Amino acid sequence: MTTFSLVALPIVVLLFVVRYHKEIRNWISTTTKDYGFFKKYGGSHSPSDVKGMAPYPAQPIKGRERYRVMMDIRKLDVQNWLTLDKNYMEEHSVRDDLLREKRDKVLQCLPESAQACQEALEEVSEFLCERYPNMFQKLVQGDRTSIQNCMTGERFDIGGSGSGGEGIDALEAAVRLTMEDLSILMMNEDGEYYLAASASLFPTGWTVEERIGWTISRLHEPVPLWHQHVANSVSKFLARLTPTSPMERSNYFVEIKRPDENLIEILYRPKGLCEKDLSVPSPEEIIIRRERQTFRRLPKTGTILFGVKTYLTRLDQLPMNELENLATEMRSWPDYVGEYKGKSVWGAKVLEFYKSRVGQMNEKVEV
């Protein structure tokens, strides 16, 4: 190679990079991006495979013999920050109905949360495209970036000239992609975190329309012993959360449903879980409603993205060890805690069902 070639080659490469820097940048972002807080994970799922995907395992009822409000925080399973399962399409239909018919009740964003909502959509989109590459696809056209949901056919702008909407539009797009409800927590002048934006489509005993802007402390005022047991710990936990240390926790409730209720009425419960007058519910009408809650500090805005995935299990489908643990925990509740949880409506039936299951097991052992 001549001296001229050695000098000219780098110049040609440099000119090429300058001329096509946007195209090169977009290609790199779609093929080699490392998300920092989780390792890359590819899957071979096709869009139709979601119908056969088992739900991410919910945390079991632990059977504590002494009642105490606890945070039970643990490190986030980052490979499964957002999950899909066989209920995706049915729940997506519920989300679509709620966002069309009750939008103001389930979706609210304060003006100061706009950038955080946009960042939340970007993070959700990047994760889903990486975790489920055949179900979600990132599309780049010039300086416009969008995400295609291959299961529903929906497409949302997530960056560039096509993403000039308000924060509420970005947050709505994010919850139309996920199975999780999503909220933005921001810190106020007093150093307290508050609900700055929320898409809470599956609430229990409240609506976003009523509580947008409330502090975490105010949101938990109805919860017995919350302020005495964990209020200070929650404040410290939220303040210390970093983009590289996402966390999660779980809790559960007991819900009563009528035989003729549809999925929207079961999941969307703004008035509470046991407000219906069913004095003697059957095991099929008693539902163990679990939540997997995730906490992520968004790297750009520094706000907290709070996610909630809801799981439903009928009492008659609950494993025996968890049924026993539920009975144990029920006995540990003070009367005022039992009243808050609606125990007077379903408690006797749960214990009756548990005893009948124990009797059936004893009969099998004797045989």
How would residue 87 be classed by pLDDT, with cut points 50, 70 and 90?
very high
Running DSSP on this structure, what letter comes out for residue 150?
Answer: T
Residues with Cβ within 8 Å of 62's Cβ and at least 6 positions away in sequence, in order, are 325, 329
| Of the candidate ranges 156-165, 168-177, 320-329, the one whose mean pLDDT is the lowest | 156-165
Three-state DSSP at 296 gives strand
The identity of residue 261, as a single letter, is E
What pLDDT, on a 0 to 100 scale, did the predictor assign at position 331? 95
Percent of the chain with pLDDT over 70: 84
What pLDDT, on a 0 to 100 scale, did the predictor assign at position 49? 85
b/e code 108-138 from CB counts within 10 Å (16+ = b) = bbbeebbebbbbbbbbbbbbbbbbbbebbbb
| Of the candidate ranges 34-48, 250-264, 346-360, the one whose mean pLDDT is the lowest | 34-48
Task: Quote helix, strand, coil % in the chain, to nearest 5.
Answer: 45, 20, 35
Interaxial angle between packed helices 343-366 and 320-332, expressed in degrees from 0 to 180 and rounded to the nearest 10: 140
Distance CA 259, CA 283 (A): 11
More confident residue, 272 or 244: 244
- Across residues 236-263, what is the average pLDDT? 94
Residues with Cβ within 8 Å of 31's Cβ and at least 6 positions away in sequence, in order, are none
Helix (H) or strand (E) holding 8: helix 3-19
Distance CA 338, CA 50 (A): 38
Report the range out of 278-282, 318-322, 361-365 with the highest average pLDDT.
318-322
Residue 27 has pLDDT above 50, yes or no: no
CB atoms under 10 Å from CB of 206, counted, come to 16
Residue 28 has pLDDT above 80, yes or no: no
Q: Which is nearest to 298 in space by CA: 214, 187, 157, 160?
A: 187
pTM of the model: 0.86
List, for residues 36-83, the tens digit of each pLDDT value. Answer: 444 444 555 677 789 999 999 999 999 999 999 888 999 999 999 999
- Across residues 158-185, what is the average pLDDT? 83
Running DSSP on this structure, what letter comes out for residue 258?
Answer: -
- Residue 167 CB burial class (10 angstroms; 0-12, 13-18, ≥19): buried
How would residue 367 be classed by pLDDT, with cut points 50, 70 and 90?
low
Helix (H) or strand (E) holding 301: none
Distance CA 27, CA 211 (A): 42
Mean of per-residue pLDDT scores for the chain? 87
Q: What do you get for the CA distance between the two ends of the chain, in Å?
A: 90
More confident residue, 319 or 18: 319
Token digits of residue 49: 């495979």
| Of the candidate ranges 40-49, 177-186, 199-208, 290-299, the one whose mean pLDDT is the lowest | 40-49
How would residue 162 be classed by pLDDT, with cut points 50, 70 and 90?
very low
What pLDDT, on a 0 to 100 scale, did the predictor assign at position 29? 39
Q: Which is nearest to 110 in space by CA: 221, 216, 198?
A: 198
DSSP symbols for 225-237: THHHHTHHHHHHH
More confident residue, 168 or 297: 297
Give me the helices (H) in 102-166, please.
103-106, 114-131
Is 109 within 8 Å of 167 (Cβ atoms)? yes
Instruction: Find tokens 């983009």 and name the residue.
Output: 243
How would residue 15 be classed by pLDDT, with cut points 50, 70 and 90?
low
How would residue 134 be classed by pLDDT, with cut points 50, 70 and 90?
very high
Distance CA 86, CA 52 (A): 5
